[in-house]
Amino acid sequence: MNILHASSEVFPYSKTGGLADATAALAKAQAAAGHTVSIVTPLYPGIAAAFPDLEPLGQAEVPAKVWRLEPEPNLTVLFVDEPRWFDRDGLYGHGDDAERFIFFSRCVARLAKRAEIVHSHDWQAALAMPLLGQARVGKVFTIHNAAYQGRFPAEKFSLTGLPSDCFDWRQLEFHGDLNLLKGGIVFSDLATTVSPRYAEELLTPEYGCGLEGVFQAKGKALTGVLNGVDYAEWNTTDNPHLAAAYSADAHEGKAANKRALQCELGLSPLDDVPLFGNISRFAEQKGIDLLLGALEERLSDGTAFQFAGLGSGDAGLEEAMRNLTARFPGQVAVKIGFDNGLAHRIEAGSDFFVMPSRFEPCGLNQLYSLRYGAVPVVRATGGLEDSIVDLGQGDETATGIKFADCSVEALRQAIRQAVALYADPPRLAKVRNNGMRADFSWTRTTTEYGRLYATIS
């Protein structure tokens, strides 16, 4: 099958979050399964210098220069090169994002002529669905996070080149504005999202972000497919970022990675206290305010544990993390920003990984944590609910600790459970081993998408 993906970010060329990891890994897995796969993405600053094997595509009908790279057999990455729109500091958050990503989607639609399936991801590539119109191609649109919709003033609709009758409440209009995510949902043959639980949640006012009626209208053409993990990238046995190799069959290196992380971040080099980790956008969605509250309470009451964090986002949450680090030196260390190597080391060095998200369409860090032996402590929502087996279901199958209420108190109690689990080494070893042996490879996800593609091609 000839599949063309479209995504505004693709690892390792560009990344702000899980979208980059997910789209890259899915395309790679489909190519490994024997499909002919292309993935279209903007050419942002620094990509050409970092990947000198880029060569021109030579398709004059596309309104931009397009470069190609073939990083794997059966896989081609196509970079849309238009400095006016993409030679920027930062991928998003510019005043002309409507112009930038409408242009990108128009390029995707023109590059899709030989594809059997066009699979667009999130609002930045959503307009490709209506632009393809009645083309004889299967149209799949994946919502990675419905909170980000690409909503712009109505006058931006004229940039799309679509007939004026597409701007109505049934299609691209949303409370007087242009809503690109809505257009992707409405015009796709199949709308997917990144976990079965999130597909159910999108039908409700709590999680549908105003589009719950649009999701409900898709009926059976809306489905959830849980993301996977690229274990070639996220592994503990052949990883240059780690201090020592380890695996489910040989746990010894886990302790060495904990000690190395403590030394790197200035935490006290202790073996007898649990180390909790978190890597996240500092945003309300991720429950960082809940995390700060629970950490504050547990640290103030004298609970013996450590915390290592990595992330950036809301300025107030960044400052609160800095203040917590200053107040509890040796117990708390937080780095503001993103560091891929440190992300691997936090996963490898942590005993527990905390994700208190208010909503989480899929989540990838809990999946990485399982393989890295950092027992997940998660709120039971979206993909976190789908991928973690709670301690309360029995040690034979448990892979983590889940809590239901979106509150500081619920997270505080979950941390208490984790501290108690750490004090019982045989039980901790069993839960950790269950998680490290869990299989969330992309093979499962690729097979499910193959089945779905067959229903519309």
Task: For residue range 14-37, list pLDDT tens digits in order.
Answer: 998 889 999 999 999 999 999 999
Averaged pLDDT, 415-422: 97
Q: Does some domain include residue 271? A: yes
pLDDT surpassing 70 at residue 181 = yes
Residue 62: pLDDT band (50, 70, 90) is: confident
Q: In the predicted model, what is the mean pLDDT of the chain?
A: 96
Lowest mean pLDDT among 38-47, 58-67, 129-138, 358-367: 58-67
Residue 123 has pLDDT above 60, yes or no: yes
Segment 269-320, tens digit of pLDDT? 999 999 999 999 999 999 999 999 999 999 998 889 999 999 999 999 999 9
User: Are 257 and 242 a contacting pair, CB within 8 Å?
Assistant: yes
Quote the domain boundaries for residue 79. 2-228+442-454
CATH of the domain at 89: 3.40.50.2000
- Do 26 and 162 belong together in one domain? yes
User: 209 with 286, same domain?
Assistant: no
275 with 143, same domain? no
In this structure, are 178 and 274 located in the same domain? Answer: no
pLDDT of residue 59: 61
Same domain? For 20 and 75 the reply is: yes
Answer whether residue 246 is part of any domain. Answer: no
The 3-class SS string of 102-141 reads HHHHHHHHHHCCCCCEEEEECHHHCCHHHHCCCCCCEEEE
- 428 in the same domain as 411: yes
Predicted TM-score (pTM) of the model is 0.91
- The whole-angstrom distance between residue 221's C-alpha and the CA centroid of its chain comes to 22
Is the same domain home to 208 and 135? yes
Region 373-394: what's the mean pLDDT?
97
* Structural domains in the chain (count): 2
**Which band of pLDDT confidence, cut at 50, 70 and 90, is reported for residue 134?**
confident
Distance from the Cα of residue 232 to its chain's centroid = 17
Task: State mean pLDDT over 426-449.
Answer: 96
Cis peptide before 71, with omega less than 30 degrees from 0?
no
> pLDDT tens digits, residue range 320-341?
999 999 999 999 999 999 899 9
How far lies 440's CA from each of 123, 236, 432, 433, 452, in Å? 26, 15, 15, 15, 19
- Does 284 lie in the same domain as 219? no
Instruction: Tell me the two tokens of residue 307.
Output: 């915390």
Average pLDDT over residues 197-207: 97
pLDDT at 50: 96
Rounded distance between C-alpha atoms, residue 290 and residue 410, angstroms: 9
> Would you state the pLDDT for residue 135?
87
In the chain, the percentage of residues whose pLDDT exceeds 70 is: 99
Per-residue pLDDT of 226-257, as tens digits, reads: 999 999 999 999 999 999 999 999 989 999 99
Tokens 């609160």, residue?
320
Do 411 and 272 share a structural domain?
yes
336 & 265 share domain: yes
Closest CA to 123 of 64, 48, 45, 211: 211
